[in-house]
């Protein structure tokens, strides 16, 4: 079959799935809380009963350690599922809201109704969790969904397809695998909502495609998430947290600490503690980090070469490697690496690193920190490590970020009570718990007249009516 006919077949197949889902959307929208909860329970049971398959798929894709699969992929899903199952009935109830005195005699409520047919485009770095987590919210809100998983993690994508084909008819949940051309075909369709996780550059393309159909979007992007360590921080504990947050999944985490702003007075002790933490985590037996079964790999050669280019560019412009630096192209291995003497001319200070390279920038005053952060786009996450509450509040009030974590890293993503998402260049919209349910819903305002009338302000606008309107405008 030639490429043209194959393209036509792909478009026909995708269009057929979309049409079937559009026909089914109204029926799924009428499902009860109990019916949606049952779907989520079945999803949870499948995940827990097939942990080995999921772990094996992720290891095959980029040697992700089994424990990191549980930490970074599964626990976030089971937590989200448990929370949604517990609260969905309450979320789906009409929410009564106050009505101002101007509208005495009426009552007001918010009804949450599903948006309809939704598209979820998921990334490769946490390919299982970031495909299924938005699906949980989509199902909870009563939508039908198409998932387009990443082609860069084919084993995990196949596992997702196998699971969802077992659990759902394709007119409710369908998986479409393929590359960027397949994604482009999907984006040409008039979905009611698109949930995309990935780079800012691609996020702009997704938003432009959605605009053609006036579809709403959730964009979970990224950016350079700063990590501040002030002179009051617990140096040892903070170094361990930063080392873990930077190196889990080999740094391929959208909310990983991207670069470090450390107070000059604690820079030396912190860097020593950071090196100790890296060795304790990934080289406890002295065989070398490359031999560690706890350290993942860069997903493919293209991304390995991107990181290698960032490293070479920084070194050519005066950066110094003070820890790590070893790479192995054949194994897509990049050692946890600390770079000092960095500056803004370097590519790794201009774009999200998405790997285990940690640029370190010493500072002397809080104002230095704010100036440095404000020169960049609004980050997806901001990390503050301090035991001085006024300093913490200063950083909170003088920065903006999708989310902020104090004296910890990464953990906010897995808390279903917190909204997760970026701002402007780091994202649009929020997920997690009720916020995810809300994202996939239309908040429909409903006002009901129960008694009384407003006919006393109807035309003709006599002097008496004008006086009443003036009174209402000023005082009600």
DSSP annotation of 70 reads: I
154-167 helix and 33-49 helix, angle to the nearest 10 degrees: 140
Question: Is 386 within 8 Å of 339 (Cβ atoms)?
Answer: no
Question: Is 399 within 8 Å of 223 (Cβ atoms)?
Answer: no
Q: Pick the closest to residue 221 from 79, 114, 351, 35 (CA basis).
A: 351
Number of residues written out for the chain: 476
- Return d(Cα 340, Cα 445) in angstroms, integer: 54
- Return d(Cα 2, Cα 173) in angstroms, integer: 30
45 three-class SS: helix
Q: How many CA atoms lie within 13 A of 154 on its CB side?
A: 3
- Return d(Cα 429, Cα 420) in angstroms, integer: 8
| Chain position carrying tokens 């969790």 | 129
Catalytic annotation, residues: 220, 254
H or E element, residue 203 = helix 200-212
Question: Is 307 within 8 Å of 326 (Cβ atoms)?
Answer: no
């Amino acid at each position: 079959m030639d490429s043209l006919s194959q393209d036509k077949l792909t478009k026909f197949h995708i269009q057929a799935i979309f049409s079937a889902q559009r026909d089914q959307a109204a029926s799924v929208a009428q499902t009860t809380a109990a019916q949606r909860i049952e779907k989520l329970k079945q999803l949870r049971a499948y995940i827990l009963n097939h942990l080995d398959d999921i772990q094996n798929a992720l290891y095959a894709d980029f040697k992700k350690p089994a424990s990191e699969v549980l930490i970074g992929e599964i626990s976030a899903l089971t937590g989200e599922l448990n929370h949604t199952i517990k609260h969905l009935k309450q979320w789906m109830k009409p929410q009564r809201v106050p009505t101002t005195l101007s509208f005495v005699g009426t009552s007001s409520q918010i009804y949450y109704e599903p948006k309809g047919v939704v598209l979820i485009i998921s990334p490769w770095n946490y390919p299982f969790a970031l495909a299924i987590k938005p699906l949980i919210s989509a199902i909870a809100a009563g939508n039908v969904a198409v998932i387009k998983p990443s082609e860069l993690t084919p084993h995990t994508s196949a596992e997702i397809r196998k699971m969802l084909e077992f659990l759902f008819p394709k007119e409710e949940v369908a998986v479409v695998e393929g590359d960027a051309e397949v994604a482009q075909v999907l984006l040409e369709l008039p979905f009611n909502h698109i949930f995309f996780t990935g780079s800012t550059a691609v996020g702009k393309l997704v938003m432009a495609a959605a605009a053609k159909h006036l579809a709403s979007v959730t964009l979970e992007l990224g950016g350079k998430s700063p990590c501040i360590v002030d002179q009051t921080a617990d140096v040892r504990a903070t170094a361990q947290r930063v080392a873990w947050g930077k190196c889990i999944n080999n740094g391929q985490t959208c909310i990983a600490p991207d670069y470090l702003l450390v107070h000059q007075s604690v820079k030396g002790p912190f860097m020593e503690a950071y090196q100790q933490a890296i060795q304790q985590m990934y080289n406890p037996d002295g065989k070398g980090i490359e031999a560690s079964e706890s350290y993942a790999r860069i997903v493919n050669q293209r991304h390995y070469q991107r990181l290698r280019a960032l490293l070479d560019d920084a070194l050519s412009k005066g950066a110094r490697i003070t820890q790590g630096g070893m790479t192995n192209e054949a194994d897509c291995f990049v050692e946890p690496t600390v770079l000092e003497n960095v500056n803004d001319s370097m590519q790794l200070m201009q774009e999200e690193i998405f790997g285990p390279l940690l640029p370190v920038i010493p500072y002397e005053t809080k104002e230095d920190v704010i100036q440095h952060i404000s020169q960049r786009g609004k980050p997806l996450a901001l990390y503050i490590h301090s035991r001085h509450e006024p300093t913490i509040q200063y950083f909170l009030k003088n920065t903006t970020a999708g989310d902020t974590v104090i004296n910890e890293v990464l953990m906010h993503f897995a808390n279903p009570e917190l909204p997760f998402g970026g701002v402007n260049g780091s994202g649009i919209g929020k997920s997690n718990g009720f916020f995810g349910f809300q994202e996939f819903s239309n908040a429909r305002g409903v006002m009901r007249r129960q008694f009384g009338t407003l006919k006393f302000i109807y035309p003709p606008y006599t002097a008496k009516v004008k006086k009443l309107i003036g009174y209402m405008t000023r005082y009600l």
